[in-house]
Amino acid sequence: VEFYFDDSSKIIHFKSASRIGSSDLGTNRKRMEKIKNLYSR
């Protein structure tokens, strides 16, 4: 997982990619949605 904190616009950009192969069957999307929900509170 990579994070970029943009202080000027108060936005956190994040990226997650499969380590092996081209698909992770939605695992990264679920993980990133969980992180997004934690920071949105």
- Domains of the chain: which residue ranges? 2-39
What pLDDT sits at residue 16? 78
Cβ 13 vs Cβ 4: under 8 Å: yes
- What is residue 22's predicted lDDT score, i.e. its pLDDT? 75
Give CA–CA dist 39/18, Å, rounded: 23
Three-state DSSP at 26 gives coil
| pLDDT of amino acid 8 | 93
3-state SS, residue 1: coil
Taking alpha carbons only, the member of 8, 14, 6 closest to residue 35 is: 14
Q: Is 9 helix (H, G, I), strand (E, B) or coil?
A: coil
pLDDT tens digits for range 13-38: 888 777 777 777 888 888 888 888 88
